[in-house]
Amino acid sequence: MLERLLALEAFSYLLVFSRLGTAVMLMPGVAEAFVPARVRLLVALTVTVVMYPVVAPLLPSTPNAFIAVLLLIFGEVTIGLFIGSVARILATALTTTGTIMAFLTGFANATLFNPMIQDQGALTSVFLSLLGTLLIFATGLHHLMFAALMDSYTMFIPGAPLPLDDLSEAMSRLVAGSFKLGVQLAAPFILVITLFYICLGILARLMPQFQVFFVGLPLQIMLGLIIMVVSISAIMMWFLEYFATGMSGFINPR
């Protein structure tokens, strides 16, 4: 009897870990390339132990068939993958903004390793990504991610059929919204640098012998840095509000 109870308890922990561990492995600030895998695993196990007593009443009974067990675990992994991907896609809006800024300000050739996308990225993209991750933890928005994980058990009941159509539609809308926000955050750079290019074109037509690009590139870089200093606070506030709104969709009102 005791062995059966221990087996059921171990399976329940595994079921909770399947969803929470998958989501934690994708969340911003935890799933970055510079975070050791053991640390990520420790965080996932800690979150599972803390949330297990809360979500245990919502877990289904252990199925007898092996295929049913695999399908149940697959469903939990899919939900965790969806929630973790939502947090990751929300954060990648800053990567889009930084890439646009780099092309407009002349920093496109200055590349660094971007831990958010685990690939080479422009200097401004890496800066905004790291700053956004820092502000998420500094402002306590990471608590929304864990609250979303806990409330996901009432939104996506374990063992229930997966709403794959709704998940795919929500993911496509989220990707489009993240790209849209990235362009909107870079709107001051697009506007000012476009006007700057127009002025350079007029100057080149008025004075063909004048080396426009020789003078224009340093001015373009300086202008881009000035715009960044002026607008960086508004950009980050807008991003944090967008991130909080996106993660709050999984939280049940209390």
The pLDDT tens digits of the residues spanning 13-64 come to 888 888 888 888 888 877 777 777 788 888 888 888 888 888 878 777 777 7
The better pLDDT of the pair 251, 26 is held by: 26
Percent of the chain predicted with pLDDT > 70: 89
Question: Which tens digits make up the pLDDT trace of 184-205?
Answer: 998 888 888 888 888 888 877 7
DSSP state at residue 109: T
Q: How confident is the model at residue 253 (pLDDT cuts 50, 70, 90)?
A: low
Residue 6 confidence (pLDDT) above 80: no
pLDDT at 75: 83
Specify whether the CB–CB gap between 11 and 71 falls below 8 A: no
DSSP state at residue 29: T
Burial category of 23 from C-beta neighbours within 10 Å (exposed 0-12, middle 13-18, buried 19 and up): buried
Residue with tokens 């100057």: 203
φ, ψ for residue 251 (rounded to 5)?
-100, 130
The better pLDDT of the pair 209, 116 is held by: 209
The first and second tokens of residue 241, run together, are: 């509000």
pLDDT at 5: 41
DSSP state at residue 113: E
The first and second tokens of residue 180, run together, are: 């849209």
Taking residues 103-127, what's their average pLDDT? 71
Crossing angle of the two packed helices 93-105 and 164-185, in degrees rounded to 10? 30
Q: How confident is the model at residue 118 (pLDDT cuts 50, 70, 90)?
A: low
At position 135, the amino acid (one-letter code) is L
Question: Which tens digits make up the pLDDT trace of 171-182?
Answer: 888 888 888 888
Taking residues 108-114, what's their average pLDDT? 65
pLDDT at 111: 64
pTM for the full model?
Answer: 0.80
pLDDT at 142: 82
Contacts of 196 (CB under 8 A, 6+ apart): 216, 219, 220, 223
Using CA atoms, how far residue 51 sits from 46, 146, 231, in Å, is 9, 9, 39
How far apart CA 222 and CA 208 sit, in angstroms, is 24
At position 228, the amino acid (one-letter code) is M
The first and second tokens of residue 162, run together, are: 């997966």
Residue 113 confidence (pLDDT) above 70: no
pLDDT at 1: 43
Specify whether the CB–CB gap between 231 and 188 falls below 8 A: yes
Specify whether the CB–CB gap between 122 and 224 falls below 8 A: no
How far apart CA 186 and CA 191 sit, in angstroms, is 9
Q: How confident is the model at residue 166 (pLDDT cuts 50, 70, 90)?
A: confident
How far apart CA 219 and CA 230 sit, in angstroms, is 16
